[in-house]
């Protein structure tokens, strides 16, 4: 026998509208009108429905894009923003709905005891509440369809109670009415809004039935938005009538005001009881379906995924929801829990709006809903949700947020995944696209310069010094791409490229986790490096820095010299690492900067030294700025100049002046920096013609020191503005 599926009216509209028109309308709406006045109440209702309509429209868009299965809000959010975020929201919603059942049944119990004049003690509240909880749970356990059919009678009772109210008579023959606005002795806007707002949370009760609907793509938008619209009309009509037939003091002081105004009080009582019970039905039907969807995805134990009957009804989850609701009833005081419940609902609405807004704004090709919601509507809904959370109860907001962040982190650590999620990728793609257009239309400024680095290296698993240096220098400071140069022919290397890229990524993620990885297969490495230096990147984010090993081991000196000459012509910042195989980087405690007087080089080298000492491995390293001078007088003059540069640059470094003697530069460099862990030195370019001895001369110059970084600053940017804060 095929499973019975529900349509728009039975499956979405009925549970949604019955959750909206609940106990607050009967017991607290008069108090709201008495405090806020007629106009103030209307504004509160309209403001609250900004969330309802924005969320309803956003959910409708998501529901009409792809097949919506069991789980309602959770399923939609997890398939849009990822399982960790969806799981955090789903678990929160399960507990929120389960405890909501307690709230609605306590409201029923209090009105029941009050009306029949039975002692409203905590013992009686627990007894009557427990009986009501058992009845609601048993009916829902027997059959979801039976529970929904009962709600037809509930809907009729609420409709008759409204007719009885609107055909009632004023309480005062003198025609006294409520004020139009807040008065001096009334509660403030935030307090009144906080009391009313839970009345409009619940319009997603039908969405929670998504797995039991015949056609979710049609039923969810039509049923949800119709319920929100009908609820808003009722909440606009009731305060106008209440304000017209009773004065503010009476409305504020009598929570059973409906019974005194209505033509047939018994109909109001029936509607009041029915509304609270129907809200409990909506919550206890929705909660286990969230739990079932969470179990299907493996977020909670799989036992809760088991269904019963042709509709796969989550009876095990219903039992769990029953016991949680019973715990709330036995506590009897949910004043601390109630704000958290509202926060959980609001956070789910906010993230649903956010998911829809991101997908619409990003123009993701796979997001093609038949019900379209403008991105600005979704973003307004999300901002409003989070703003209301802050205003209603900041402490409860922080507690709810902390709980969901904890769940999110735990699920993230379990590396939980669903089907491929393209929402965030689409969002960042759109953001990057707009950012590129912005950057490309504006020339770079020295003060906001960031490194866009290409690192050329071999397999980092065998030679990782260059990868280490890239991680130390450019960690989160700019865009870094590690380009693994693979000598050979592409057609020969293609079969193993995927494995090589995976292995390269594994190593790079250990030393520079934010670095991107590319493979460059080339028969002539020097030619490939030059081509990649020009082609990698994109407008607005073109490479401005090249980092590679000095005298690459796979290149002969003549081709390497030609490579240096070509890179100089591109006018990038050039950084060549000459790694000492025995000493490596020593203890990483000392850095010597050797400046030969070339402008820009000293600023860039100081900046690079600052980057190094800002990394954990080089933390606390001492920087010396070494300069050769011809005499004591020149030393004093240079020391004053260097001191001013260092002070203005706000970098901890010490000037170190060396007076020339009969020794050559290489000998002096070796004598001063022999034990230094890293030397930064300016790079002199090769002569315009020929390449004889260029590499050998640089090697001879640095033969007396350990590892060294040769630096050549580009002429394109004014690093004085960046480093020295000059205009």
Q: 172 near 243, Cβ under 8 Å?
A: no
**pLDDT of 185-233, one tens digit each?**
788 888 888 888 888 877 877 776 676 788 888 888 999 999 999 999 9
Number of neighbours of residue 132 by Cβ within 10 angstroms = 23
When pLDDT is averaged across residues 516-520 and rounded to a whole number, the result is: 89
**pLDDT of 25-41, one tens digit each?**
888 899 999 999 999 99
Q: In what order do the strands lie in the sheet with 708-712?
A: 516-522, 479-487, 452-457, 545-549, 573-578, 708-712, 678-682, 590-595, 622-629, 654-659
Round to whole Å and give the CA distance between 352 and 414: 23
Q: Give the CA dihedral 91, 96, 102, 103, nearest 10 degrees.
A: 180
When pLDDT is averaged across residues 683-709 and rounded to a whole number, the result is: 85
Round to whole Å and give the CA distance between 30 and 9: 29
The predicted structure's pLDDT at residue 350: 87
Is the pLDDT at 587 greater than 90, yes or no?
Answer: yes
The predicted structure's pLDDT at residue 591: 96
The span from the first CA to the last CA of the chain, in angstroms, equals 81
Is the pLDDT at 334 greater than 60, yes or no?
Answer: no
Give strand pairing partners of 272. none
The predicted structure's pLDDT at residue 349: 86
DSSP string covering 605-645: HHHHHHHHHHSGGGTT-EEEEEEEESSHHHHHHHHHHHHHH
pLDDT band, residue 618 (cuts 50/70/90): very high
The predicted structure's pLDDT at residue 420: 43
Is the pLDDT at 665 greater than 70, yes or no?
Answer: yes
When pLDDT is averaged across residues 609-629 and rounded to a whole number, the result is: 91
DSSP 680: E
Is the pLDDT at 596 greater than 80, yes or no?
Answer: no
The predicted structure's pLDDT at residue 492: 83
DSSP string covering 456-471: EES-TTT--HHHHHHH
Q: 67 near 366, Cβ under 8 Å?
A: no
Is the pLDDT at 700 greater than 60, yes or no?
Answer: yes
The predicted structure's pLDDT at residue 2: 47
Round to whole Å and give the CA distance between 603 and 648: 11
Average pLDDT, the chain: 84
Pairing of strands 590-595, 573-578: unpaired
Residues in the chain: 727
**pLDDT of 255-268, one tens digit each?**
788 988 999 999 99
When pLDDT is averaged across residues 78-103 and rounded to a whole number, the result is: 83
In the chain, the domains with their CATH numbers are 8-335 (1.20.1740.10), 446-723 (3.40.50.12370)
Q: Which of 174-178, 218-222, 453-457, 557-561 has the lowest mean pLDDT?
A: 174-178
The predicted structure's pLDDT at residue 440: 67
The predicted structure's pLDDT at residue 425: 67
**Which long-range contacts link 502-507 to residues 24+ away (Cβ below 8 Å)?**
503/459, 503/461, 504/459, 504/460, 504/461, 507/460, 507/461, 507/464, 507/467
**pLDDT of 273-320, one tens digit each?**
888 887 888 788 888 988 998 898 888 888 998 888 777 888 899 999
The predicted structure's pLDDT at residue 640: 83
The answer to whether the pTM exceeds 0.75 is no
**pLDDT of 49-61, one tens digit each?**
999 999 999 988 8
Is the pLDDT at 443 greater than 80, yes or no?
Answer: no
Q: Which of 241-255, 385-399, 409-423 has the lowest mean pLDDT?
A: 409-423
pLDDT above 70: percentage of residues in the chain: 89
Give the position of tokens 């009345």: 199
Give strand pairing partners of 516. 481
Round to whole Å and give the CA distance between 128 and 321: 18
pLDDT above 90: percentage of residues in the chain: 24
């Amino acid at each position: 026998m095929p499973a019975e599926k529900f349509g728009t009216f039975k499956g979405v509209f009925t549970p949604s509208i019955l959750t909206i028109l609940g106990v607050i309308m009967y017991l607290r709406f008069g108090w709201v009108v008495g405090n806020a006045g007629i106009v103030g109440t209307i504004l509160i209702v309209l403001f609250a429905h900004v969330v309802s309509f924005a969320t309803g429209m956003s959910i409708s868009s998501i529901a009409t894009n792809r097949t919506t299965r069991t789980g309602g809000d959770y399923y939609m959010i997890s398939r849009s923003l990822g399982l960790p975020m969806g799981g955090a929201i789903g678990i929160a919603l399960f507990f929120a709905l389960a405890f909501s059942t307690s709230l609605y049944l306590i409201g029923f119990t209090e009105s029941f005891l009050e009306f029949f004049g039975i002692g409203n003690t905590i013992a009686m509240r627990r007894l009557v509440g427990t009986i009501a909880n058992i009845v609601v749970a048993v009916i829902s356990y027997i059959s979801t369809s039976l529970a929904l059919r009962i709600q037809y009678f509930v809907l009729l009772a609420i409709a008759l109670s409204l007719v009885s109210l609107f055909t009632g008579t004023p309480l005062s023959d003198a025609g006294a009415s409520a004020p139009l606005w807040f008065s001096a002795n009334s509660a403030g806007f935030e307090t009144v809004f906080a009391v009313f707002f839970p009345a409009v949370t619940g319009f997603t009760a039908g969405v929670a039935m998504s797995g039991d609907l015949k056609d979710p793509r049609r039923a969810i938008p039509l049923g949800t938005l119709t319920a929100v619209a009908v609820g808003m009309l009722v909440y606009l009509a009731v305060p106008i009538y209440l304000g017209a037939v009773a004065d503010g003091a009476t409305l504020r002081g009598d929570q059973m005001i409906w019974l005194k105004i209505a033509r047939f009080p018994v109909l109001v009582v029936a509607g009041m009881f029915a509304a609270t019970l129907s809200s409990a039905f909506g919550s206890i039907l929705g909660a286990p379906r969230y739990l079932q969807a969470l179990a299907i995805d493996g977020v909670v134990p799989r036992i809760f995924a088991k269904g019963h009957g042709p509709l796969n009804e989550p009876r095990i989850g219903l039992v769990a929801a029953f016991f949680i609701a019973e715990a709330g009833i036995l506590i009897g005081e949910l004043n601390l829990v109630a704000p958290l419940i509202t926060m959980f609902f609001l956070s789910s609405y906010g993230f649903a709006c956010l998911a829809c807004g991101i997908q619409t704004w990003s123009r993701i090709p796979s997001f093609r809903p038949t019900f379209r919601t403008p991105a600005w509507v979704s973003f307004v809904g999300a901002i409003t949700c989070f703003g209301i959370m802050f205003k209603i109860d900041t402490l409860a907001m922080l507690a709810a947020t902390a709980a969901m962040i904890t769940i999110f982190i735990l699920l993230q650590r379990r590396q939980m995944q669903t089907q491929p999620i393209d929402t965030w990728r689409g969002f960042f793609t759109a953001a990057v696209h707009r950012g590129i257009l912005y950057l490309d239309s504006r020339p770079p400024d020295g003060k906001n310069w960031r490194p866009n680095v290409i690192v050329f290296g071999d397999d980092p698993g065998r030679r990782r010094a260059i990868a280490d240096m890239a991680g130390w220098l450019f960690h989160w400071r700019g865009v870094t791409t590690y380009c693994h140069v693979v000598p050979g022919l592409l057609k020969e290397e293609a079969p193993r490229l995927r494995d090589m890229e995976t292995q390269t990524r594994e190593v790079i993620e250990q030393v520079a986790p934010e670095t991107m990885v590319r493979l460059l297969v080339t028969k002539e490495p020097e030619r490939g490096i030059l081509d990649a230096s020009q082609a990698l990147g994109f407008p607005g984010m073109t490479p401005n820095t090249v980092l590679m090993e000095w005298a690459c081991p796979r290149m002969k000196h003549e081709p390497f010299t030609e490579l240096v000459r070509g890179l100089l012509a591109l006018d990038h910042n050039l950084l060549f690492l000459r790694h000492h195989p025995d000493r490596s980087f020593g203890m990483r405690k000392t850095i010597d900067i050797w400046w030969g007087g070339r402008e820009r080089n000293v600023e860039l080298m100081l900046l690079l030294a600052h980057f190094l000492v800002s990394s954990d491995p080089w933390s606390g390293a001492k920087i010396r700025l070494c300069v050769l001078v011809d005499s004591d007088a020149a030393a004093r003059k240079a020391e004053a100049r260097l001191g001013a540069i260092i002070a203005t640059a706000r970098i901890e470094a010490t000037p170190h002046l060396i007076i020339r003697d009969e020794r050559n530069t290489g000998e002096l460099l070796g004598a001063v920096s022999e034990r230094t862990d890293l030397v930064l030195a300016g790079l002199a370019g090769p002569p315009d013609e020929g390449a004889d001895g260029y590499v050998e001369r640089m090697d001879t110059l640095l033969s007396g020191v350990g590892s060294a970084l040769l630096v050549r600053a580009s002429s394109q940017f004014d690093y004085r503005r960046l480093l020295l804060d000059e205009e």
